[in-house]
Copies of this chain bind each other. A is one copy, B any other.
Amino acid sequence: MTDHDTFLTAAQSLLGPRGFTADADLVTPWLTDWRGRFTGRALGLASPANTAEVAAFVRLCGEHGVPIVPQGGNSGMSGGATPDDSGEAVVLSLRRMDAIRTFDVEAQQITCEAGVILQTLHKLAETQRLRFPLTLGGKGSATVGGLISTNAGGTQVLRHGTMRAQVLGIEAVIADGSVFDALTPLKKDNRGFDLKQMLIGSEGTLGIVTAATLRLVPEIGGRAVLWAGLPSLAVARQLLLHCQATAGDTLEGFEVMPAHCLASVLDHLPDARSPLADNHAWHALIELVGDVTSADALPDLAERVLSSALEKGLLDDATIAANEAQAEAFWLLRDSVAPAERAIGPAMQHDISVPVATMADFVTAAAPQVETRFPGTTAVAFGHLGDGNVHFHVLAPPHAERGEWEQTQGKAISAYVHDLVTQWGGSISAEHGIGQMKRDELGRLGDPVALAMMRSVKHALDPSGLLNPGKLVPLAPDGTNP
């Protein structure tokens, strides 16, 4: 038998027919990321049933020198869960591990396995009048393990933080097959380095998250969804500060988009209407959320927030959604920006962030710089103003050819945008992670001190480099991948 055959036989023996397959029909669907940008090859697909099986399988891979690509819902944005095309690695799916281990309603905590799907978690929390306060487009596929490994964001970060803020405890299998068990939630614990934090957002390169204890919050009692028309992004920033001061902790979302985005959406959605009668240079979508004790006060609060903002000249016009259907319609406009822009033609999309305080200045400066440097392009920025997280899209010149344009001018544009955001002290990956898509850009633009520290930590915890090789951690200057 070849080495591969020996490994495959041992893997099948260890995990059984449900736990391991090399059948191309079963493996292939998981070798391409959902946006179709990355495709790899693999020896097989492992689907262990529990943490002990994950640990045993990791040890087996270590013995045979087989690299492991952990995968949750395969809904990542940066190719972090797609193997390379060497065919030497195995994909380790956590989807079969979807048990709820404990659910402490009183403490508002749930301990679940890595394969639990976000939407399932939402529904389970709702049955106990609780809420898991993180959501995103891929909620029907994204798993708890993937959300943790990528430190996922979404639209509720302004109030509730990223996935990091939801994780109270973690269990992970590390490179030598040991189980790191820090599931017990301790609000105060100063027993050394916070290893849990190191695993969160490490994209499976330091360990394979197998379970987590997550915090829940009280269910939503009600919400007020506001739409405002604004003269500029700078005024939007002032309006955000005003909302924070007057709406306090009820402020859960603050999204902005320029006129161009709203027009694209209205073109794209035949039944959609603009919330306001007149045209405005910028639009803000603002959501206030209360629990059962505070929801009744929301309509009055929303009125006060808007009327005082109007007095201060922080908006030109505004409206409050009259009912849930209208609130949903407002959000549909926001959620349709990306598909609407894509429908126009090819575009390079950038998931970047700068300090919240400088986001308006950054967009105001960067958009014309890009358009001047690449004539015919249109730069539009929209997104989570409250988080400093800009979705910075650069639309191709008219008649540019899809596919070809992205690979030529598109690449130069992305490098230029990444240069700009780095000069502004920002991040080339606000929420989508690095994966394989941005690894080289991180190597090019990342702080050399931070990169050296990352390589040291990676090498220390995964000396053989078997955990998700080629992802996240840029190569060393000598070309080695620690």
Question: How many Å lie between the Cα of A206 and that of B456 in the bound state?
Answer: 12
**Interface pair A452/B192, CB less than 8 Å apart:** no
A180 to chain B, nearest CB (A): 5
**Size of A's binding interface in residues, CB under 8 A:** 79
Given contacts A186-B353, A427-B188, A461-B456, contact A194 B193 (CB under 8 A): no
Task: Answer whether residue A460 sits at the interface, using C-beta atoms and an 8 A cutoff.
Answer: yes
Beta-carbon contact of A182 and B427 below 8 Å: no
Encoded as 1 (CB less than 8 Å from any B CB) or 0, chain A from 178 to 209 comes to 11111011111111111101101110001000
CA distance A428 to B191 in the complex (A): 7
Q: Judging by beta carbons under 8 Å apart, are A427 and B190 in contact?
A: yes
**Are B198 and A194 in contact (CB-based, < 8 A)?**
yes
A449 with B356, Cβ < 8 A, contacts A197-B198, A248-B293, A457-B457 known: no
A193 adjacent to B201 (CB under 8 Å): yes
How far does the alpha carbon of A434 sit from the alpha carbon of B198 in the complex, in Å?
19
Chain A, range 2-18, C-beta contacts under 8 Å to B: none
A123 within 8 A of B: no
Are A190 and B449 in contact (CB-based, < 8 A)?
no
Residue on B with the closest CB to A213?
A: B355
CA distance A103 to B218 in the complex (A): 35
Binds B, one of A33-41, A150-158, A398-406: A150-158
- CA of A460 to CA of B157, assembled, Å: 33
For A449, list chain B residues within 8 Å (CB). Answer: 174, 178-181
| A189 closest partner in B (C-beta) | B427
* Assembly CA distance A433 to B192 (angstroms): 7
Q: Which of B178, B354, B356, B454 contacts A107 (CB 8 A)?
A: B356
Contact present for B388 and A186 (CB under 8 Å): yes
Some 27 contacts from A to B, beta carbons below 8 A apart, are A106-B241, A107-B357, A150-B190, A180-B447, A181-B447, A182-B450, A185-B356, A186-B430, A187-B388, A188-B384, A189-B353, A190-B434, A191-B434, A191-B442, A191-B450, A192-B434, A192-B473, A193-B198, A193-B453, A193-B454, A193-B458, A194-B200, A198-B198, A198-B457, A453-B461, A456-B461, A457-B461
Instruction: Name A's B-contacting residues (CB within 8 A).
Output: 104, 106-107, 109, 150-151, 153, 157, 162, 164, 174, 178-182, 184-195, 197-198, 200-202, 206, 218, 241, 245-246, 248-249, 291, 293-294, 353-357, 384, 386-389, 425-434, 442, 446-447, 449-450, 452-454, 456-461, 472-473
